[in-house]
Structure 1
Amino acid sequence: MSAEILNQTPTSGDYPEKHFGQTFNSRLWVKFMDNNFQEWVGCFPRPYQSFDKVLTDNANDTAFIVAGGQGYLIDISTRELLHEMDDIPVLESVIHTTNPEYFLVGACYCIYIFDNRKLIKRYDPDFTVDGIYFTEQKDQKAIGHLYSYEYQQDLNVGFSFDLVTNEMTIDKNVKIRQLGPFEFVTVTEKEVKENESFFTKILRRLTGK
């Protein structure tokens, strides 16, 4: 079983096709192959020119597709749409975890937890968030970084999300700078201090203090 994003629109008739969601000028084409080696393509609207991703749960014949920041849970064998997410909030990351087995989705200000068939929970942090980016799983925790003005004014901070208790823990020792919409680099403590010193000088010039 597999799923892959196609870089070009497939030629009509090459594969069975199924269209999901509303019609948009921008579309994402994904080629699926089920456990019987039958191939087909799905077409997904891209409401925003942003994040695209495809992940599969091979044990359960499902896939999670993010097309232009909007999410879809698909049964690959039956070609059934199990869940279509709203286009707001825009999705920014997704990982597939094991033990427990989830599709874990980071949106602008919240987290969505899917099992292999449905949305089972939405988690909202108890502080203001504007960007959640999952990167990997370590043991029974999902690891990533997020942006919150309450922690760093110009950097993302690390966090872990417990897959069993659904508790979030902030790790301020991890500092990430965002270069582009989905481009990030780790920042050293020296760079943070130099950056803080630079902004302190600018503030002094503006305030005359």
Structure 2
Amino acid sequence: MSTSSSAPADRRTFVRTALDLGDAVLRPWSRADAGSEALLDALVTAAADPAIALWNPMAAADRDAAGAWVEARDGGWERGTAASFAIVDAIDGTLLGCVNLRWVDRADGLAMIGYWLLPTARGRGLATRGVAAVTSWGFATADARRIEIAHAVGNEASCRVADRCGYLPEGVLRESFRFGDGEYHDEHLHARLAGDPEPEKP
């Protein structure tokens, strides 16, 4: 699935890699994307979507802000601290969504994964397939020990993605995160360990 086989000297460093889903590709965000008006406009559209604005608020209200958002994703790759993938259409490169894997405690091998899809990309299983691919990649290439998903209790779509990707439910984090509505919400915590069996392919 990976188009890059080079192993990092520090196993807990994310190395830029593309992951092929067939109808879509997960590729690292890069500073070059800040020069694409089409991508920047797609990010502005994503930030304005009610579901994304509520559950995954992002500072991309205009092209300048979207460009800064892209550069921040690129910076995570440069430091090896976060692996942020643009989900793009395999044929025309249209932006479909994003999957982000970041270290919570790098020394301990603890990471967290998050994701969003543009409205036009929903209903195709892309979030599930993207999270599954990045999860397997994180365990295999970055020596992650444990990867967590924390989502608002009201975000049922995210809960389904976690379940389908083999992230077991571990409990409720009370009023643990302030979401896009400015309110603190309870979150469901899910997690996978490197030694857990792979779920059936979504």
The answer, yes or no, to whether TM exceeds 0.5 is no
Bigger relative contact order, structure 1 or 2 (CA pairs below 8 A, ≥6 apart): 2
Q: Which has more radius of gyration?
A: 1
Q: Higher strand share goes to which structure?
A: 1
Q: Higher helix share goes to which structure?
A: 2
- TM-score of the two chains, using structure 2 as the length reference: 0.31
